[in-house]
Amino acid sequence: MLRSFVLVLILSIYPLSAISVSDFPPGFVLKNPYVWPVKGYDTITGTFGEFRTGHFHMGQDFSTGGKIGIPILAVAKGKVTRVQRRWTSIGYAIFLQHDDGMTSRYGHLHKFSQKIIKQILKSKQAKRYKDRTDFDIALPEAVEVDAGETIAFSGDTGVGPPHLHFELFKDNVYYNPVHYGLGYNVAEPIVFNALRITPQTPRTFINGRNEPVEIPFYETTGNRFELLESPTLFIQGKVGIQIAIHQKSNSNRLGIFTLDMLIGENVLQGFQLSKILKEHTRKNVLLYDSSVSKPNGNPFSYYLHTRDGNDLLGMRSNGREQGLLDSEQMRMGEPKEITIRATGMGGQMSFASFFILKDQGDYSHIVTKEWKYNVYYDRYTTFKSKDTKVELFFPVNAVYSKAFFEIEAQEQIQINTQGLNQLSSVYKIGPDFKDFNLGYDLYVKVPKTKDINSADLYEVLANGNVKKINGSSFSSWGQFFKVRLRKTGLFVVLSDQTPPNIYLHEFMNKTVYPREDFALYLKAVDVGSGIMPDGFDITVDGIPGKAEFFPKDGRLEIFEPEILYEPGKHTVLASVRDFAGNWSSTVRYDYEIQSPPVPEEKKKPTPENHSVDTLKEKKNTKETKSKPSSPKVQKAIKSITAAPKAKDKKSTSR
């Protein structure tokens, strides 16, 4: 029996030196480390390959101190060739094509440098830039920049708090910026949080139970961790190992770079996050347990066995079931020590260890639930609810492996939000499942009603509130709503009859403002279908206006016509529309922009006071040396130092 166990290990173990992967594209040579992209701030708040809901974090996040307006620098010499605006994801972004062949993208920016703006205004999409609508612009002429040159200013556009999201890629492969000089030389330690060991068959038992076991780690000495309880685990059958772990970075939890599971010196399974194929962006569920992992790292739970369909770069082995522990390959009474080795930035390394022992207990009297599946990755599947009003269609590759789903009408749940009329039952698509690839199509039939034009599909949240599902469509001939989903949960069709509200933003707490740095804000909220990003009717002094909507906080900034900034009295009239077509009432705001002070004309000195004026001029000349900078310089500084502040916290978006 021992010989069999040893033989299996030899066949399934890959020495670390033999499976290391290149950190750079083929033929690439890094001549000099890249320039740090944020001026004046040196904290990393998110690492390459971290868990994000539905995708890998394909870049690295840098702190901007929670501020807007911090200079963003080119990491290498090259040309800015493209700019973007994606208001529900990356915000304002810049693409820099390096002279060394790499391309970098900088996201969540507040604004671009002037020479980049100059080229944007020459493009065919200049109007979209001026109107602040989403765009993807290839610049008419590439803008050459040097390493360390300011190309933009930090912001909070798109999703997340103020920070810089930075990506590095070539030929549809994304690379870890750490290897290009953009990591910590000295870093905080790596912390093991918990071990999670899960049954892989219906008749697998861990410590006598057919259920997952989770045990926290504690630090023993230095960078070594052990289980807080049950240092030896008894297993019968096949089990999978998951490790919750992170690296500290101030108050942030960072993902780690490598994680390996060993018996002795041999690696059973592990990974190295040096590069990720663009087409693998959504395959994070093959590396992370999406049922427990969270974007803020509390926790990041990594699988240490191969899941079906795992072809990720950097895996120690993509072989089927690689890394699973099987009691049939163990001898009775001989515990095996499992060591987990983790590395991160700044050369940090930590270890955790525990023992497994074959369990020969008799559990024939324990009834376990049979594992059932009705959806498989290699075939399409369709089924309906009992009342036939809901249908699910799963295409090929809907999931990464296999799963079980069912539809249940939840007649006891009634939506009582005022102004929202319920046109269908609430349906539960379950059980909870997150490991979707392409996802599935949800069809919900509804009766003919006059409310149908203001109806849509909604998700019922855990707190009882509802949220409109984006991307749904209605078929009038089939009388059903359809949407592609990558989530399970509670869903319902509602008709929104409630108009949105619009009112003055708390920033507008005066009626008279100086012209310098003036911005005109309103606020719009809606309890139903949500505010349309371009659903505004705005006039300033009778002239049609334009506005930019910030979904994160309901802020509405009016930026046209230009007359709104001119000295004098102004009147704003504004109303907004929601996705259901309801218009708010009109809000009116009267305000005044002060005229700039007119400098007094200098008096011509008379003979009797000429000598006194001469002395004053000499005195003023001395004082001028210690006076602050000119008003123009002060204004430039104010736009940064007076910027809105937020806590320097981890972004959970991109």
Which residue among 163, 180, 197 closes a domain? 180
Model confidence pLDDT, tens digit, residues 503-540: 999 999 999 999 988 999 999 999 899 999 889 999 99
Within this chain, do residues 439 and 549 fall inside the same structural domain, yes or no? no
Mean pLDDT within 24-49: 96
**Position 105 in a domain:** yes
The answer to whether residue 115 is domain-embedded is: yes
Considering the domain architecture, whether residues 78 and 201 belong to the same structural domain is answered as no
Q: Is the pLDDT of residue 641 over 50?
A: no
Domain annotation covers residue 150: yes
Which pLDDT score, from 0 to 100, does residue 644 have?
Answer: 36
Bridge partners of residue 84, in order along the sequence: 93, 136
Q: Which domain holds residue 470?
A: 375-496
Do 196 and 153 belong to one domain? no
Does residue 639 fall inside a structural domain? no
Across the chain, mean pLDDT equals: 89
pLDDT of residue 629: 35
pLDDT tens-digit profile of 270-316?
999 999 999 999 999 999 999 999 999 999 999 999 988 889 999 99
CATH number at residue 437: 2.60.220.30
What's the whole-model pTM score?
Answer: 0.85
CA distances in angstroms from 106 to 79, 113, 384, listed in the order given: 13, 13, 45
Separation between Cα atoms, residue 314 and residue 316, nearest integer Å: 6
- The answer to whether residue 648 scores a pLDDT higher than 70 is no
Our count of domains for the chain comes to: 4
Domain boundary among 465, 496, 527: 496
Q: List, in order, residues 6 or more apart from 578 with CB less than 8 Å away.
A: 496, 499, 500, 526, 528, 529, 530, 531, 532, 535
Domain check: are 205 and 273 in the same one? yes
Q: How many CB atoms lie within 10 A of CB 415?
A: 16
**What span, in angstroms and rounded, lies between the C-alpha atoms of 421 and 424?**
9
Asked if 209 and 326 sit in the same domain, the reply is yes
Pair (354, 236) in one structural domain? yes
**Span 77-106, pLDDT tens digits:** 999 999 999 999 999 999 999 999 999 999
Q: Region 371-392: what's the mean pLDDT?
A: 96
Domain shared by 107 and 161, yes or no: yes
481 shares a domain with 382: yes
Choose the final residue of a domain: 180, 213, 241.
Answer: 180
- Identify the band that residue 637 occupies on the pLDDT scale cut at 50, 70 and 90: very low
Asked whether residue 492 falls in the same domain as residue 506, the answer is no
Q: Are residues 61 and 140 in the same domain?
A: yes
> Residues 573, 586: contact at Cβ < 8 Å?
yes
